[in-house]
Homo-oligomer: A and B are copies of this chain.
Amino acid sequence: MTKLNVALIGHQFMGSAHSNAWRQVGAFYDLPLEPHLAVVCGRNRETTEAAANRLGWAEASTSWEEVIARPDIDVVDICTPGDSHAEIAIAAAAAGKTVFCEKPLANSVEESRAMLAAAEKAGVLHMLCHNYRRAPAVALAKRMIDAGEIGEIRHYRGAYLQDWIVDPNFPRVWRLEKSKAGSGALGDIASHSLDLARYLVGEISEVCGMLETFIRERPLEDGSGMAPVDVDDAALAMLRFDCGAIGSVEGSRFCPGRKNYNRFEINGSQGSLVFDLERMNELEVYREEGANGGFRTVLATDPSHPYVEAWWPPGHILGYEHTFTHTVLDLIHAIDREELPSPNFGDGVRNQCVLDEIEKSHESRGWRQVEA
């Protein structure tokens, strides 16, 4: 089987999740190409070598430029913080590599447009990693919507709630600095809800949003004093979709008890669907069936459900990390078929436009059109 040489740039949380996906996909799925974990790249020699060893990469490098220049590398998988995505992706595309980029695509619309343009100009395949699209229950929701099982969609209600910075003494980490993170809950988690909205319901035409920072100053990590928080702790927006549906989306890090509550509810003319990432193997489904209808809990672990056939018998649940395994699976098939995978940099641009208009809407205190 032809090898597919992969280079991973970045080896923190997302790098670990991507490594696992590359390492595991072949043990469960029949693949047209054999992924080879060729090289992992990081800033620090020692930690990168340790990561290579732990995560299963053949080599370690501290220069992404050198890695991209290697002729044997087929895929560049970018797991660095968002502010470096554009530079690496544009260089990788120019080098003719397939580019696989963790979300968000970039920290600005401009950067994301440049990335898309670079990939298109180079004629390379590009994919954006929005892994939750490939939770089996979410993919099942998509399948049901596409089959018309809930009819015409009227409402999307998305929320991604967490509680990790409720404590005002939690330090001012990089995710709370605008210059590094771009935004707060908006770009980090509400962005997932928005991507799922676009995936499941369609393009968003208008937004009206608000941002809030509850704790405006936090201790520095090194204990040397306080520093301002200049990103949003919570973001909320109302939405209008091209298809006529309306909706809302929210991200907050100030919801005690919500650990990783990425929930959506979709109401159509014939039924409703509800998903919550904390129970990611389940899809709540309501179909119009008369008085004895009701929300049913579909355990998305049947071989007939998306991506499940390769795994365990019904009722044996999958974990978070396999949303990445399924993403990598589809990327490998797309490379084999020389087809543009989905979501790709075009989705990244579109997502960034929506986030951008929400921020502008917060400033202008009113609705904003999202450019097509």
Top 7 A-B pairs, shortest CB-CB distance: A260-B315, A259-B315, A257-B286, A319-B319, A366-B366, A296-B296, A291-B302
Give the distance in Å from the alpha carbon of A294 to the alpha carbon of B367 in the complex: 37
* A residues lining the B interface (CB < 8 Å): 13, 17, 19-20, 23-24, 26-27, 54-56, 140, 144, 150, 154-155, 157, 159, 161-162, 164, 166, 208, 210, 212, 214, 234, 236, 238, 240, 244, 246, 248, 250, 252, 254-261, 265, 267-272, 277-281, 285-288, 290-299, 301-305, 312-322, 364-367
Closest CB-CB distance, A197 to chain B, in whole Å? 14
Instruction: Assess whether B261 is in contact with A155, with CB atoms less than 8 Å apart.
Output: no
Q: With contacts A257-B272, A319-B318, A320-B317 known, is A297 near B298, CB below 8 A? A: no
Q: Which residues of B contact A297 (CB under 8 A)?
A: 294-296
Instruction: Assess whether B236 is in contact with A294, with CB atoms less than 8 Å apart.
Output: no
Instruction: Assess whether B279 is in contact with A304, with CB atoms less than 8 Å apart.
Output: no
A-B contact pairs, 24 of them (CB 8 A): A20-B24, A24-B24, A26-B54, A154-B214, A154-B255, A155-B254, A157-B159, A166-B269, A256-B272, A256-B287, A258-B267, A260-B316, A277-B315, A278-B315, A279-B317, A280-B317, A285-B294, A291-B302, A294-B299, A296-B297, A312-B321, A316-B319, A316-B320, A317-B320
Instruction: Assess whether A293 is in contact with B291, with CB atoms less than 8 Å apart.
Output: no
Instruction: Assess whether A210 is in contact with B246, with CB atoms less than 8 Å apart.
Output: yes
Give the distance in Å from the alpha carbon of A302 to the alpha carbon of B154 in the complex: 24
Instruction: Assess whether B27 is in contact with A23, with CB atoms less than 8 Å apart.
Output: yes
User: Beyond the given A236-B238, A236-B246, could you list 10 further A-B residue pairs with CB under 8 A, ordered by the A residue number?
Assistant: A17-B312, A23-B27, A144-B292, A164-B313, A164-B314, A208-B365, A210-B240, A210-B246, A257-B294, A291-B304
Q: Which residues of B contact A278 (CB under 8 A)?
A: 281, 299, 315, 317
Give the distance in Å from the alpha carbon of A140 to the alpha carbon of B250 in the complex: 27
Q: Which residues of B contact A303 (CB under 8 A)?
A: 291
Give the distance in Å from the alpha carbon of A37 to the alpha carbon of B95 in the complex: 37
Find the B residue at minimum CB distance from A312: B320
Closest CB-CB distance, A79 to chain B, in whole Å? 14
Q: With contacts A23-B27, A256-B271, A317-B280 known, is A296 near B299, CB below 8 A? A: no
Q: With contacts A250-B248, A315-B162, A316-B320 known, is A238 near B210, CB below 8 A? A: yes
Give the distance in Å from the alpha carbon of A27 to the alpha carbon of B53 in the complex: 8
Q: Which single member of B17, B279, B290, B298 contacts A294 (CB below 8 Å)?
A: B298
Q: Which residues of B contact A304 (CB under 8 A)?
A: 290-291
Instruction: Assess whether B291 is in contact with A294, with CB atoms less than 8 Å apart.
Output: no
Instruction: Assess whether B154 is in contact with A299, with CB atoms less than 8 Å apart.
Output: no
Give the distance in Å from the alpha carbon of A312 to the alpha carbon of B289 in the complex: 21
Instruction: Assess whether A236 is in contact with B248, with CB atoms less than 8 Å apart.
Output: yes
Give the distance in Å from the alpha carbon of A305 to the alpha carbon of B294 in the complex: 14
Q: Which residues of B contact A17 (CB under 8 A)?
A: 312
Closest CB-CB distance, A54 to chain B, in whole Å? 6
Closest CB-CB distance, A27 to chain B, in whole Å? 6
Give the distance in Å from the alpha carbon of A183 to the alpha carbon of B251 in the complex: 30
Q: Which residues of B contact A19 (CB under 8 A)?
A: 27
Instruction: Assess whether A252 is in contact with B234, with CB atoms less than 8 Å apart.
Output: no
Q: With contacts A27-B54, A154-B214, A236-B238 known, is A272 near B293, CB below 8 A? A: no
